[in-house]
Amino acid sequence: MARTTRQRSAVVAVFDELEGFHSAQEVHARLRTAGDTVGLSTVYRAVQALADDGELDSIRTESGEALYRRCSTQHHHHLVCRSCGRTVEVAGPTVEAWADRVAGEHGFADVSHTLEIVGTCADCR
Amino acid sequence: MARTTRQRSAVVAVFDELEGFHSAQEVHARLRTAGDTVGLSTVYRAVQALADDGELDSIRTESGEALYRRCSTQHHHHLVCRSCGRTVEVAGPTVEAWADRVAGEHGFADVSHTLEIVGTCADCR
DNA sequence: CGGCGTTTGACAACGGTTCTCACCAGCTCC
DNA sequence: GGAGCTGGTGAGAACCGTTGTCAAACGCCG
């Protein structure tokens, strides 16, 4: 039952310091280089537990990697260039409202969403 | 340069018969049980080639698996229940328009997007 | 048909994630 | 504060989808 250990606090601390999405491996590396010895398995368990508790959001990279971010981070989406990978963060009240409405219409509650826009940026055309 | 072989035709045929998203492994299994002997690597290469050519769309499962669908399938998004996995397909002209507009404002062209809405469905509450 | 360049497929390798299991450490009750 | 129960930890192995390897097979062109 959710015991508060040194390792879990450390993982939470990393996400408190960092904006945006980060992988479990990245968190692990960050802790290690900070001199904090935490097992990789433990980091995986921690981020999963946190995601289950709704403290972290998660998405999947195009390559299949799982990324997490602190939930309180201001919500926004990514506009990614398919050629150079340049990323612009965009906010979308329109979409947020639409997603909530559509979900509600189908009886879904406690709704979140992920949206990724991919295109070719001006420089790469 | 894009030779038309028995194996590639077979993969294309599977997507012609099937609606929605399917994994490379699923396609492979389907071909095998149909008595069509095609290597797994070949299926992977075929779906990737097709995705590169824009003939297939791809997304990632929550578990990291890659799924593909025939591109001509009418564009829609998924509303997924986080508990039972039930999926509802929703169309969203609002979102389409918004995504195009936002991308255009940032100088992005040739825009596509993926949107996934996750919530808890009425039955699972 | 013959040759060449691509494709194929069995298998190995890879990388992220999850599992295993012996050891360790919060928490609770005394 | 200490003992004991219960859940957490971590090194390493296992797992699984995916990608790479390479010799053999095949499509295509002349």
pLDDT, tens digit, for every residue of A5-14?
888 899 999 9
Long-range CB contacts (< 8 A, 24+ apart) of B52-60? B53/B2, B55/B12, B56/B15, B59/B21, B59/B114, B59/B116, B60/A60, B60/A61, B60/A62, B60/A64
Angle at B70 between CA B17 and CA B22, to 5 degrees: 75
Q: What is the pLDDT of residue A124?
A: 77
* pLDDT reported for residue A88: 82
Residue A89 or B98, more confident: B98
Q: What is the CATH number of the domain that holds A107?
A: 3.30.1490.190
Tokens 């797994």, residue located: B40
What pLDDT does residue A70 have? 83
Using a pLDDT cut of 90, give the percent of chain B over it.
Answer: 21
Q: Is the model's pLDDT at B3 over the cut of 60?
A: yes
Asked if A117 contacts B103 with a C-beta cutoff of 8 angstroms, the reply is: yes
Give chain A's mean pLDDT. 84
Identify the residue among B48, B83, B95 best suited for mutation to test binding to A, counting A beta carbons within 10 A and taking the highest. Answer: B95
Residue A46 falls inside a structural domain: yes
Rounded to 10 deg, the angle between the A24-33 and A6-17 helix axes is: 100
Q: How far apart are CA B76 and CA A1, in angstroms?
A: 40
Please indicate, yes or no, whether residues A25 and A55 belong to a single structural domain of this protein.
yes
B84 shares a domain with B113: yes
Question: Which range, A20-29, A70-79, A90-99, is most confident?
Answer: A20-29
> Given this model, what pLDDT does residue B37 score?
86
Mean pLDDT over B111-121 rounds to 82
Q: Are B21 and B67 in contact (CB under 8 A)?
A: yes
* B9 sits in which H/E element: helix B6-17
Percent share of chain B, pLDDT over 70: 93
Inform me whether the pLDDT recorded for A53 exceeds 90.
no
Residue B101's domain comprises 77-119
Residues B53 and B100 both lie in one domain:
no
Per-residue pLDDT for B43 more than 90? yes
- Residue A73 scores a pLDDT above 60: no
Same domain, A52 and A25: yes
Instruction: Give contacts of B115 with chain A, Cβ < 8 Å.
Output: 95, 99, 113-116
> Contacts from B84-92 at CB under 8 Å and sequence distance 24+?
B84/B121, B84/B123, B84/B124, B86/B121, B86/B123, B88/A106, B90/A102, B90/A106, B90/B117, B92/A98, B92/A102
Residue listed under structure tokens 């994994």: B23
- The residue written with tokens 């990697």 in the block is A65
pLDDT at residue A4 tops 60:
yes
In a domain, B19, yes or no: yes
pTM over 0.75: no
Same domain, A12 and A56: yes
CA pair distance A57, A47, nearest whole angstrom: 10
**Would you place residue B2 in the very low, low, confident or very high pLDDT band (cuts 50, 70, 90)?**
low
If you count DSSP H runs as helices and E runs as strands, how many of each does chain B have, helices first? 4, 6
Band (pLDDT 50/70/90 cuts) for residue B70 is: confident
- Kindly give, in sequence order, each residue whose CB lies less than 8 Å from that of residue B3, ignoring residues fewer than 6 positions away: none
Q: Do A11 and A52 have their domain in common? A: yes
On whether residue B60 sits in a domain, the answer given is: yes
pLDDT for B120: 83
Chain A contacts in chain B segment 56-95 (CB below 8 A)? 60-62, 64-66, 79, 81, 88, 90, 92, 94-95
Which of A30-39, A89-98, B58-67 shows the lowest per-residue confidence on average (mean pLDDT)? A89-98
CA of B112: which chain A residue's CA is closest? Answer: A118
Residues A36 and A56 in one domain: yes
pLDDT(B122) > 90 = no
Structural domains counted in chain B? 2
Q: Residue B84 contacts by C-beta under 8 Å, 6 or more apart in sequence? A: B121, B123, B124
pLDDT at B71: 67
Which residue has tokens 């980060």?
A22
Q: Is the CB of A25 under 7 A from strand D?
A: no
